[in-house]
């Protein structure tokens, strides 16, 4: 029994944080460990072609993590089976709790390279990639995160193919690659995936993803649609305390958490990442209290930790 099956058995379901590029880095994950930790973290997705090139040092920061962040799954993307194999062979010494293959990212520059959801159109290549990762991963669980199809919903063929690969876990975003976020996530199709799983690959855990905005909603969806767990993406930036189930976070606590996040960011990344990255978290922390909008606008003008701290303390 792997760690994910154990959590499911003990808790009844799994609550996971979706991998999001330039958002769910080790700093943010460490902050969530303090204010509301999910059952499972995923790293930002790392390109295996980049990792297997002379540019390795420009991509491998995405898979850094601390022990406090476990259980943690390393997510990989690309379209060359040999590069997936080489990458997994080298980084499994980090002893991640799982390897996840991204077959769902719909960002144009990812699709244009043949990665992410572009793989939905390449079933034979998909089989080769999964086989390569499983062979190198050994006893480390292997999973896939994907969508219901590329240009149309193709649950039976596409998801059926993935279930035939004997994955430990399968996360399904209830949209197709061509959908905008204005189109609601199709949880009825995720329910269909669960029924397919029961027939094709009973041991594969099914995680539903799409439009989850609270832990309460996530648990309700798990019960309603029969999934083994839920995954939160954009919702975490509306409420970083989401996995704690807390609401109405005091103003002072919001200030303190933002300052701690910024300080940790500075300590871990230094000059490696531009401090402006912090600005995407400002709206997440500084909200839901009188004067939040005005303060947030001023905070968006700062470019270093000291100025951020001074502005918050003055306020």
Q: Are 49 and 78 in contact (CB under 8 A)?
A: yes
The mean pLDDT value for 297-314 works out to 91
Is it the case that residue 150 has pLDDT exceeding 80?
Answer: yes
pLDDT score for 315: 62
CA atoms within 13 A on the CB side of 11: 17
160-169: string of b/e by CB count within 10 Å (b at 16+)?
Answer: bbbbebebbb
| Percentage of the chain lying above the pLDDT 70 cut | 99
The mean pLDDT value for 286-305 works out to 93
Angle between helices 292-299 and 305-314 (to 10 degrees): 150
The separation between CA 235 and the C-alpha centre of its own chain, rounded to angstroms, equals 12
pLDDT score for 43: 98
Q: Are 27 and 265 in contact (CB under 8 A)?
A: yes
104-129: string of b/e by CB count within 10 Å (b at 16+)?
Answer: bbbeeebbeeebbbbbbeeeeebebb
The mean pLDDT value for 290-298 works out to 94
- Residue 128, token pair as written in the block: 């080769």
The mean pLDDT value for 239-256 works out to 95
Whole-number Cα distances in Å, 249 to 111, 123, 241, 255, 257 = 39, 46, 8, 10, 11
pLDDT score for 313: 82
Active-site residue, from 85, 105, 172, 282: 105
Q: Are 205 and 228 in contact (CB under 8 A)?
A: yes
State pTM to two decimals. 0.96
Q: Are 146 and 104 in contact (CB under 8 A)?
A: yes
In order of their start, the domains of the chain are 3-244 (3.20.20.70), 251-314 (no CATH)
Q: Are 130 and 92 in contact (CB under 8 A)?
A: no
**Residue 246: left if φ>0, alpha if ψ -120 to 50, beta else—which one?**
beta
pLDDT tens-digit readout, 17-40: 999 999 999 999 999 999 999 999
pLDDT tens-digit readout, 25-83: 999 999 999 999 999 999 999 999 999 999 999 999 999 999 999 999 999 999 999 99
- Note if 105 is an active site residue: yes
The mean pLDDT value for 157-162 works out to 98
pLDDT tier at 247, thresholds 50, 70, 90 = confident
pLDDT tens-digit readout, 168-212: 999 999 999 999 999 999 999 999 999 999 999 999 999 999 999
């Amino acid at each position: 029994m792997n760690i994910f099956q154990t959590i499911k058995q003990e808790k009844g379901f799994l609550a996971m944080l979706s991998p999001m590029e330039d958002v769910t880095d080790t700093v943010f994950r460490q902050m969530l460990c303090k204010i509301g930790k999910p059952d499972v973290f995923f790293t930002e997705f790392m390109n295996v072609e980049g990792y297997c090139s002379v540019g390795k040092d420009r991509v491998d920061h995405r898979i850094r993590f601390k022990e406090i962040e476990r259980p943690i799954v390393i997510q990989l993307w690309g379209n060359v089976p040999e590069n997936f194999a080489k990458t997994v062979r080298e980084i499994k010494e980090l002893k991640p709790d799982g390897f996840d293959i991204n077959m769902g990212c719909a960002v144009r520059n990812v699709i244009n390279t043949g990665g992410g959801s572009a793989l939905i159109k390449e079933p034979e290549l998909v089989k080769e990639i999964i086989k390569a990762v499983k062979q190198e991963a050994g006893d480390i669980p292997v999973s896939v995160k994907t969508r219901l199809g590329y240009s149309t919903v193709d649950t039976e063929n596409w998801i059926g193919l993935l279930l035939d690969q004997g994955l430990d876990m399968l996360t399904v975003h209830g949209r197709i690659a061509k959908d905008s976020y204005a189109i609601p996530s199709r949880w009825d199709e995720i329910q269909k995936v669960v029924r397919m799983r029961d027939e094709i690959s009973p041991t594969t855990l099914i995680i539903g993803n799409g439009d989850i905005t609270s832990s309460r909603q996530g648990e309700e969806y798990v019960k309603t649609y029969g999934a083994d767990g839920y995954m939160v993406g954009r919702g975490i930036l509306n409420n970083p305390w989401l996995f704690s189930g807390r609401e109405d976070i005091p103003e002072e606590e919001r200030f303190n958490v933002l300052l701690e996040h910024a300080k940790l960011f500075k300590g871990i990344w230094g000059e490696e990442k531009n401090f402006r990255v912090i600005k995407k978290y400002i709206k997440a922390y500084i909200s839901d209290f009188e004067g939040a909008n005005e303060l947030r606008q001023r905070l968006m003008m700062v470019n270093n930790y000291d100025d951020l701290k001074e502005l918050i303390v003055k306020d």
